[in-house]
C-alpha cells in the first residue's frame, strides 16, 4: 500500500512539468535551478544577429551610469544572472520569490548564455511586469580587454537571444488568449566584471545601449547571510542609488542580505523602482571607468578568466 502511494507520488512528480507555466512561475527551488545543475553548452546561439537595431546614443550618453541625482528616496535594485562560456550557474529562487511576494520592482541583467541554459526561468522573468530586463553580455566577456568583434558578439548574440525568447512568449500568449506587451529589445547593458575601455563605451553607445553599473556593490565574496551586513549596505545608499546583487546562485547568502537591506531601506522611507524609472526622475551620474567601488579595483580580474574573460583558456 505504502509502495502504491509512493508510486503515485512519483508519477505525479514526473507528470508535472517543472517550470512549465510562463504566467504563474513555480515558486521555490527546482532541481534545475542549482548552480551547475544544467549541462554546459559553449556553442554560439542559433540566432546571432538581432532583428531590431537600436538607434545609436548621443555622445553625451557615452559612459557608465553609477547612480541618478534625485532628491526623492527612490533607488533601484539590480540583479545579475550570468555565466561564463565554460560553466552554467543557477537561479536564486529565494531572491525572485521574495521580490514577487513583496511586489518589489527590480532590473535584472541577464547573460545571453544564461537565458539559453535557463530558458523557462528567463521567459518567466521576461513575462513578469515586475521586472525590467537588461543585457549582461553573452558569456561574461571582459569589455576591458576584448577586441571589437568579440564585444559585438557578446552584445548582439544576447539581444538576439532575448528576441527569440520574446517571440516564444508572445506566441504562447496568443495560444493562451492573453494580452502581453514586451519591449522589442533590451536598452540597458551591464558590463561583466564592471570592466570597460574607451573603445567599449563607443561600441555600446553605437549599439544604442545605456551602460548601467552601480554605486552600491551589495555582496561580499564571502557568506552574505551575516546579520548586520544589510545595515552596512543600507548605510551606503542615497536617493538615486543603484544596488548590485546577483540572482544566479553564485554569491552565498544573497537572499538573506537582500531581505535585511530592503527592510532597513523601507524603514528609512525608501521606495524601489526599476533603473528605467529611476532614469526618468533625474540626471544620471556617469563615469568613463568601470569598477566595483573605486577605479582600478577590478583590474586583477583581467588575468583570472582567460584572454577574453569568458573562462576559455
Ligand atoms: Zn555578471
Report pLDDT digits (tens) over 182-197.
999 999 999 999 999 9
Spatial separation of the C-alpha atoms in residues 151 and 145, rounded to whole Å: 9
Is residue 3's pLDDT more than 90?
no
Q: Residue 59 corresponds to which cell in the numbers above?
A: 555622445
Locus of grid cell 528567463 = 122
Is residue 140's pLDDT more than 50?
yes
Locus of grid cell 494580452 = 179
Q: Compute, in angstroms, the gap from residue 84 CA to the centroid of ligand 1.
A: 9
Model confidence pLDDT, tens digit, residues 160-184: 999 999 999 999 999 999 999 999 9
Q: Compute, in angstroms, the gap from residue 20 CA to the centroid of ligand 1.
A: 26
Q: What pTM was estimated for this model as a whole? A: 0.93
Q: What is the pLDDT of residue 15?
A: 39
Go through the domains of the chain in sequence order and give each one's CATH number. Answer: 59-303 (3.20.20.370)
Q: What is the pLDDT of residue 82?
A: 98
Task: Identify the burial level of 71 via C-beta atoms within 10 angstroms of its C-beta, where 0-12 means exposed, 13-18 middle and 19 or more buried.
Answer: exposed
Model confidence pLDDT, tens digit, residues 141-154: 999 999 999 999 99
State the pLDDT confidence band at 46, using cuts at 50, 70 and 90. very high
Q: What is the pLDDT of residue 19?
A: 46
Model confidence pLDDT, tens digit, residues 260-308: 999 999 999 999 999 999 999 999 999 999 999 999 999 999 999 999 9
Of 1 and 182, the one with more pLDDT:
182
Q: Residue 298 corresponds to which cell in the numbers above?
A: 577590478
- The mean pLDDT of 59-66, rounded to a whole number, is 97
Q: Compute, in angstroms, the gap from residue 250 CA to the centroid of ligand 1.
A: 10
Is residue 309's pLDDT more than 90?
yes
Q: Compute, in angstroms, the gap from residue 10 CA to the centroid of ligand 1.
A: 37
Contacts of 76 (CB under 8 A, 6+ apart): 106, 107, 241, 242, 243, 272, 273, 274, 275, 277, 278
Q: Compute, in angstroms, the gap from residue 280 CA to the centroid of ligand 1.
A: 25
CA 190 to chain centre: 8
Which residues, listed in sequence order, are joined to residue 134 by a DSSP beta bridge? 109
Q: Compute, in angstroms, the gap from residue 191 CA to the centroid of ligand 1.
A: 8
Q: What is the mean pLDDT of the chain?
A: 94
Q: What is the pLDDT of residue 2?
A: 52
Q: Compute, in angstroms, the gap from residue 248 CA to the centroid of ligand 1.
A: 9
Locus of grid cell 544544467 = 38
Amino acid at each position: 500500500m505504502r509502495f502504491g502511494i509512493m508510486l503515485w507520488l512519483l508519477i505525479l512528480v514526473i507528470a508535472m512539468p517543472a517550470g512549465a507555466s510562463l504566467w504563474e512561475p513555480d515558486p521555490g527551488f527546482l532541481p534545475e535551478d542549482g548552480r551547475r545543475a544544467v549541462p554546459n553548452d559553449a556553442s554560439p546561439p542559433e540566432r546571432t544577429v538581432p532583428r531590431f537595431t537600436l538607434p545609436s546614443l548621443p555622445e553625451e550618453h557615452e559612459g557608465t551610469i553609477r547612480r541618478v541625482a534625485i532628491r526623492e528616496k527612490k533607488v533601484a535594485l539590480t540583479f545579475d544572472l550570468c555565466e561564463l562560456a565554460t560553466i552554467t550557474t543557477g537561479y536564486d529562487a529565494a531572491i525572485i520569490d521574495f521580490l514577487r511576494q513583496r511586489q518589489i520592482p527590480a532590473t535584472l541583467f541577464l547573460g545571453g548564455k544564461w537565458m539559453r541554459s535557463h530558458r523557462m526561468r528567463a521567459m518567466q522573468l521576461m513575462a513578469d511586469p515586475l521586472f525590467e530586463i537588461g543585457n549582461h553580455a553573452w558569456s561574461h566577456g571582459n569589455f576591458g580587454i576584448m577586441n571589437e568583434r568579440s564585444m559585438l558578439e557578446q552584445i548582439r548574440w544576447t539581444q538576439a537571444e532575448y528576441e527569440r525568447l520574446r517571440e516564444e512568449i508572445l506566441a504562447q500568449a496568443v495560444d493562451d488568449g492573453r494580452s502581453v506587451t514586451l519591449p522589442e529589445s533590451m536598452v540597458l547593458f551591464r558590463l561583466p566584471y564592471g570592466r570597460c575601455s574607451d573603445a567599449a563605451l563607443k561600441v555600446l553607445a553605437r549599439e544604442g545601449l545605456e551602460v548601467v553599473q552601480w554605486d552600491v556593490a551589495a555582496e561580499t565574496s564571502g557568506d552574505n547571510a551575516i546579520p548586520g551586513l544589510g545595515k552596512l549596505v543600507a548605510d551606503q545608499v542615497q536617493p538615486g542609488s543603484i544596488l548590485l546583487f546577483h540572482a544566479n546562485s553564485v554569491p552565498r547568502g544573497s537572499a538573506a542580505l537582500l531581505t535585511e537591506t530592503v527592510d532597513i531601506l523601507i524603514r528609512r522611507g525608501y521606495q524601489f523602482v526599476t533603473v528605467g524609472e529611476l532614469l526618468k526622475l533625474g540626471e544620471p551620474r556617469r563615469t568613463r571607468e568601470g569598477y566595483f567601488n573605486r577605479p582600478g579595483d577590478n583590474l586583477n580580474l583581467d588575468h583570472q578568466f582567460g584572454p577574453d574573460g569568458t573562462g576559455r583558456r
